[in-house]
Amino acid sequence: MSELNNIALKILEKGKGILAADESTATMTKRLDGVSVPSTPENRLLFRETLFSSSSMKECIGGVILYDETIRQETSNKNKIPELISKMGSAPGIKVDTGAKILAGSPDEKITEGLDGLRERLKEYYKLGAKFTKWRGVYNISKDYPSKLSIQSNAHALARYSALVQEYNMVPIVEPEVLMDGEHSAKDCFQKTSKVIKKCFEELILHKVDLKGIILKPNMILAGNKSKDKISNEEVAKLTLKCLKDSVPSEVPGIAFLSGGQSEIEATENLNLINKYNDTNFIMSYSYGRALQQSALKFWSKNIDDINGTQKVFNHRAKMNTLAAQGKWSKDLEN
């Protein structure tokens, strides 16, 4: 087994998942504004350190994706953040793209940038303690989108990124996110997500990326948030599994879903059903941001010094998702 394959498997072992705490300063400011907490570097660090030092980090969280600001910060005990995460038995990771920009030639779509200077950044992040990285491609769905240009350009960027990351002995998370925004049906989402993922793997193979040393971070198959044709959670699980079985090579060790606009309970319930029906060898887990943090953030905002109370809320959510990643969750456990 390669070292990269070991890292990927360790991140997702025993129902563990990934905490996506890589919100940019702008996004984190929006979240904190939403709960009336001033967005200062100190407050952003305090909230994140509260989560990173909670007991569920040992049992439920196999990896944490950080933002550039956070990977360089020190905790209140003068530990570096990656050291704190490693000490809790989890792997520190880092978002390395520089964001989605307008795609030249298709102004309604996005291309993720950040390949320029990436080698140098990776070298530095590796020294800072990162064991894995993240790059997110985003795709709109409508009658005309995602276009061939968007599918091809983002797949190419994800593959080049992955090849560079593996040069530095880190595991790339490959995140092609087909957005939930729109009126599209689940069937549309299924067809377009399948196309997107297949093209990503074509490019990854072309760029000689070791598929045993990546983690795929896809969206689940859902109807658009403005769609009139909603489907049941069972159908979400079955369509998602069908899409991945048809599109993902068997060498890939694990799939960690993004929550992509689902509520906390919805993201947990869908993950649980996916694992109940999972007849593949893929580990199916979670890489959630809002769906792991939202309740904890709301609780914390009422009194930012109540560390224990906030951790209790976060521990519950992490535990629920880790049960769901093993197909052992039920609604009764939520109370």
Compute the distance between CA of residue 219 and CA of residue 198 in angstroms, rounded to an integer: 14
Residue 119, Ramachandran bin (φ over 0: left; ψ between -120 and 50: alpha; else beta): alpha
Identify residue 306 by its one-letter amino acid code. Answer: D
Q: Domains along the chain?
A: 3-334 (3.20.20.70)
Helices 233-247 & 264-277, crossing angle to 10 degrees? Answer: 60
Task: Return the SS3 of 183.
Answer: coil
What is the helix (H) or strand (E) element at residue 280, kind and residue range? none
Predicted pLDDT of residue 76: 86
Distance in angstroms (rounded) separating the CA atoms of residues 137 and 141: 13
Instruction: Name residue 133's beta-bridge partners.
Output: 94, 172
DSSP letter for 278, please: -
Q: Closest Cα to residue 60, out of 82, 88, 79? A: 88
Residues labelled as active-site residues: 217
Largest CA distance in the chain: 53
Residue type, 127: K
Look at residues 140, 212, 224 and name the one whose alpha carbon lies nearest to residue 178.
140
Question: With contact defined as beta carbons under 8 Å apart, do 248 and 214 qualify?
Answer: no
Residue 1's pLDDT is what? 64
Q: Is 94 helix (H, G, I), strand (E, B) or coil?
A: strand
pLDDT in tens, the chain (335 residues): 699 999 999 999 999 999 999 999 999 999 999 999 999 999 999 999 999 999 999 999 999 999 999 999 999 889 999 999 999 999 999 999 999 999 999 999 999 999 999 999 999 999 999 999 999 999 999 999 999 999 999 999 999 999 999 999 999 999 999 999 999 999 999 999 999 999 999 999 999 999 999 999 999 999 999 998 889 999 999 999 999 999 999 999 999 999 988 999 999 999 999 999 999 999 999 999 999 999 999 999 999 999 999 999 999 999 999 999 999 999 999 98
Which is it for strands 283-288 and 61-66: parallel, antiparallel or unpaired? unpaired
